Structure 1
Amino acid sequence: MNNRLTTTLNIYKAAALLLFLLLSFQAFAQEPQINAKIDSSSIKIGEQIIFSIEVETDSTNLVVFPEGQTFDPMEMVESLGSDTTTVEGRFRLLKKYSLTQFDSGAYTIPQQKIIIQNREYLTDSFRVEVADVKVDTTRQKMYPIKPAVDVPKPFSIPNWVWWLLAILALIGLAFYFFKRRKKRKEAEPELPPYEQAMFELKQLDNSSLLQDREIKEYYSQLTFIVRKYLDRKIYDRALESTTSDLIAYLELKKQAGELSLKDKSIDNLQQLLRRADLAKFANSRPDVITAKSDRTKVEHLIKDIRQVVPEPTEEELMQDENYRREILLKRRKRRIIAVIGGILILGIIVVAILVNTKGFGFVKDSVFGNETKELLEGDWIKSEYGTPTVTITTPEVLMRHDVKRGDELQEMLLGSETFDSGTLEGNLYILLITGPVNPQGDFDLEKAVDGIYENLESQGARNIIMKEEEFSTINNAKGIKVFGTFDLENPITGGPIKKEYAILNFGENSGFQQVMVVFDEDDEYAEEILQRVENSIELRNQSN
């Protein structure tokens, strides 16, 4: 009995243990699995490594990978996206990042945070070695920088075409409004008020408005005629006044004794205006007989007003004439201002087109002038200078001038002659020095070139940048070209003047020759002058 009970208990214990193991395994299987790695732990400057994060989790879980520059001090070049695969009912997500670094040294990629169902997980950190790129200049030949290659631009409509179309459209609109205004003036002859009213009534009689039953238009023109006459003779706001306002004004004038118009005439005018308002705004259609009667009343009203309103005196006529002259002068001034404004606008448009197509520098140089451009486009002078002879072509003749040289250079020469044009602070300065070498001295062209820095500094140059290269003239004389930039103090403002310079040094014909050209920085015309001067230098053998 006891053995059977013991066996039963052992069976229950084994079953419980098995159940516990199954539940633990299931919980472990449901826990997300995260693995991170890099494809290389050692790179050169600028190379890239791939940082991979692999996550295995349940298909229902939301996974958020790190974004942005979270890999500092490494720089993320690109986030490569993620791949998803299914393994035994679970999702496996693989996310990759491209990282790099442009400074040598040892760097540690920090732990990256991954969020799965609002729970945070961290990856391992990684150490990366970034090595310098070694360049052996003794074995690797250095080549000059290749010149820029012009790439043909795709076809596009130039901007000046749109500007031209805009100008033509403006000119067309101006011409249209001018012609329209001119026709309007021709259609409205300048007649006295009474004659103008009678002329317009006759035109209305000759129209076919009544025959075509266009009553609304007929009353519009009829009321306009009488309102215009009143506007010119009695009330200068008759055209824009309402019917009640106009009648009230006439009655007020009559009560004040300033207008001896009959009450019947005012009543007829009031009935006419109200009937016209109904025809225009209430779609009322008076019959043709009523319309003709109203036309007759208008004519009688105009004649009555002509009788009661006295003709202007000679003084009033003179005042009116002066007023007309003033109006005419104002109109002329407006026309002149309009013409000047049009010319200015056209000029601004033309300048804008030139700036857009040719550039601001072209417009500035063409309008205000440019000294170096004038020198470049002027008559150049070819001449021989000093001994040993230097033949050179320059925009202006070089004048003999005394320039102090360094003691070391003076010891290497028996003497020297100096010629120049312009000033060091000006837009363009050209200096030529030539002289025979002292046979007892130790002349070295490299030593002469080394003294250029001190010489420039002694003339006030600061922040001197010097470059050096070999140079050959058109007759194959070999020399050394020193070029670069420096700053000069502006004698007026005290600020810096940015200068470019090129100094050509030769040791030909038992002598020393030096040509220096100094000009303002970024002056394209001066750069052309330099090229032309360099290409013109000739050092001829004295025996020849």
Structure 2
Amino acid sequence: MKLKTNTYYTDAYDVGLRTFILTGLLLLMGIVTNAQDKPILKSYIDTTSIKIGEQIKFTVVVETDSTSTVHFPEGQTFSPLETVEAYETDTTKKKDRITLQKIYALTQFDSGYYKLPAQRIEIDGKGYFTDSTFVQVATIPVDTVNQKMYDIKPLISVEKSYDKIWLYVILGILFLLLVGGLVYWFFLRKKPLSEEEKVALLPPYDRALLELKRLENSKYLIQDEYKKYYSELTDIVRSYLEEEVNVYALESTTGQLIERLELLQEAGQLNLEAETIRQFERILKTADLVKFARSKPPTSSAEKDRKSIEEIVIKTKEAIPEPTEEELMEQEEYLAELARKKYKKKIIYISAAAGFAVLMVLGGLIAYKGPKLVWDTVTGNPSKNLLESEWVSSSYGYPPILLETPEVLVRQEVALAPEVKANIKELQAFMYNSEKSLLTIGATSTTLAKPEEPDFSQIVENLLLNFEKQGARNIITKQEEFTTKSGIKGIKVFGRGKFASGKNKELVNGEYTIILFGGKGFQQQVILAWKDGDPYAKEIIERIIETLEVKTDA
């Protein structure tokens, strides 16, 4: 029995041992399997010493599961070294594993001893880091004996580019030529006179004789149109008398006209014989009978009446006394006044044409661009001028903040409180402020005294407190995640409020955006503020944010 008992315990022990070993093997297999599934990351450079401007090949090799998603760094993430080129990723597949190889060409144009920072490789959403290393950049030896040395040239101010201004000048000249041509053609050009206009410009005496000659050559008598014949005949002589003798003839009856001529004769203002007046009266009465009583005199009598009227015109011309010197002066003044009125009328026409052209252009621009844009262009809106100016792309501070702005940001001297200064190794601040458009652009890069992560919530709180100290009121704050085009993540704080503006600190409605980046031992921030309701400022801010990039190595 005792032996049997020992045998039982021995069998139980063997079973337990086998179970323990089997379990251990299974766990070990699991560990081995997990070890095989874990990504393998390697990195190396082809050299650790280069000359200024030469390139380093930095290679990253990732071995992982074929179903994994791998993201390599993009953009300028190797600061202080500069990325010259990122080559295409080389992929090799073996069973259920893939090997990815990414090569970067890096360089530096200043001599020194630089740290190539660790790069974050994202695999299935998890970050893995490459090893950091140091690179020496040596200067190129310069022959100072045979090569003459020169002083560094001073900075010179460069005027803004006006490459496109010639296009606007040409368009403006063409427009002015078009308007000038139209004004000349319709108002200033001496148009060829028609035959009627040439006759109208003749003196009354010459015009009357010419019209009587035309009446002689007309076909009124041949066509039995006596009424038209006598109507034109009397109109010719009446018009002549009204212009030359200054007597109301066109609107007068036969009796009234003869009476006025007799009065002028008696007053010595018209040296015309009584027989001539009687003959003229007879012809007028004959014309009245033809026009109103449908009388029809013989053709010979009609022709004789025309000749008589021609003689009456000639005698009347001879009977008019020569004008005195005073009358000639009055006539000269009258002609000068007519010339002034004609010139004034021409100026009015030209001004009206120019004004109409300007209105047409403005109307077209308003219809196409909108009234606000046209008004802002004419009045020179400061925000619009900034938006359409030549922008500047530059890097600010260290770690650098890359921005594209309408004007260069100016370095600011910042006085730090003693309790703050103990936590900050270096602070570099840059700012641009436009009082006309109420636009503010700021960039600050800070190196901390200790290699610790920045407290973004505290930074935002301090910035908002600073707004309030400067007179801001009713500040509304929102927050969201922000990512640059190169994949650098940060925090975006934005909102609106009332901000103090000008010397009188008058409160105006404004908007603001604060974008924060940071890592161990450093922090970066971009501050943007502008007037609420300014579409051009809004477009400026959107363009700045779109071009924003940062280098995150301190």
TM tier, shorter chain?
A: 0.5 to 0.7
Distance of 1:502 and 1:301 partners within structure 2: 98
Q: CA deviation at 1:256?
A: 3.1
Instruction: Look up the match of 2:533.
Output: 522
Conserved in 2, the CA contact under 8 Å of 1:400 and 1:417? yes
Q: CA deviation at 1:405?
A: 8.3
Conserved in 2, the CA contact under 8 Å of 1:220 and 1:276? yes
1:304 equivalent among 308, 315, 327: 315
Residues 434, 279 of structure 1: alpha-carbon distance in 2 compared, 3 angstrom cutoff: farther
Conserved in 2, the CA contact under 8 Å of 1:216 and 1:279? yes
Residues 381, 292 of structure 1: alpha-carbon distance in 2 compared, 3 angstrom cutoff: same
Instruction: Look up the match of 1:260.
Output: 271
Distance of 2:428 and 2:285 partners within structure 1: 106
Q: CA deviation at 1:496?
A: 5.2
- 1:235-384 aligned at under 5 Å gives the runs 235=246, 237-241=248-252, 243-273=254-284, 275-276=286-287, 279-280=290-291, 288-313=299-324, 316-317=327-328, 319-384=330-395
Q: Does 1:213 align with 2:230?
A: no
- Please say which of residues 520-529 and 336-345 is displaced more in the overlay: 520-529
1:467 equivalent among 470, 478, 503: 478
Q: Can you give the 5+ residue segments of structure 1 that lack an aligned partner in the other structure?
A: 1-166
2:465 equivalent among 446, 454, 472: 454
User: Deviation per CA, 1:369-425, whole angstroms, max 9, x where unpaired?
Assistant: 333333333322222212332122211111112467899987864452221112466
Distance of 2:256 and 2:520 partners within structure 1: 108
Instruction: Look up the match of 2:411.
Output: 400
Distance of 2:443 and 2:392 partners within structure 1: 14
Distance of 2:330 and 2:238 partners within structure 1: 24
Distance of 1:428 and 1:468 partners within structure 2: 21
Distance of 1:177 and 1:383 partners within structure 2: 57
What amino acid is the match of 1:399? V
Q: Does 1:223 align with 2:229?
A: no
Instruction: Look up the match of 1:542.
Output: 553
2:198 equivalent among 187, 201, 213: 187
Residues 294, 309 of structure 1: alpha-carbon distance in 2 compared, 3 angstrom cutoff: same
Distance of 2:453 and 2:435 partners within structure 1: 31
User: What RMSD over aligned residues (CA atoms) do the two structures have, in Å?
Assistant: 3.8
Aligned with 1:210: secondary structure?
coil
- 1:115-130 aligned at under 5 Å gives the runs none
1:436 equivalent among 430, 441, 447: 447
Distance of 1:447 and 1:430 partners within structure 2: 21
Q: Does 1:198 align with 2:209?
A: yes
Conserved in 2, the CA contact under 8 Å of 1:477 and 1:508? no
TM (normalized to structure 1)? 0.59
Conserved in 2, the CA contact under 8 Å of 1:406 and 1:455? no
Q: CA deviation at 1:273?
A: 4.1
Instruction: Look up the match of 1:477.
Output: 488
Q: Can you give the 5+ residue segments of structure 2 that lack an aligned partner in the other structure?
A: 1-177
User: RCO greater where, 1 or 2, for CA within 8 Å and sep 6 or more?
Assistant: 2
TM (normalized to structure 2)? 0.58
Aligned with 1:451: secondary structure?
helix
Residues 182, 493 of structure 1: alpha-carbon distance in 2 compared, 3 angstrom cutoff: farther
What amino acid is the match of 1:540? K
- Aligned length, in residue pairs: 374
Q: CA deviation at 1:355?
A: 0.7
What amino acid is the match of 2:353? G
1:506 equivalent among 517, 522, 530: 517
User: Deviation per CA, 1:230-286, whole angstroms, max 9, x where unpaired?
Assistant: 122111643455555434432332343333333443344445445545655666655
Residues 255, 405 of structure 1: alpha-carbon distance in 2 compared, 3 angstrom cutoff: farther
Conserved in 2, the CA contact under 8 Å of 1:399 and 1:421? yes
Aligned with 1:507: secondary structure?
strand
Aligned with 1:446: secondary structure?
helix
Aligned with 2:346: secondary structure?
helix
Conserved in 1, the CA contact under 8 Å of 2:472 and 2:507? no
User: Deviation per CA, 1:512-538, whole angstroms, max 9, x where unpaired?
Assistant: 222122233333332222122112222
Conserved in 1, the CA contact under 8 Å of 2:383 and 2:437? no
Aligned with 1:260: secondary structure?
coil
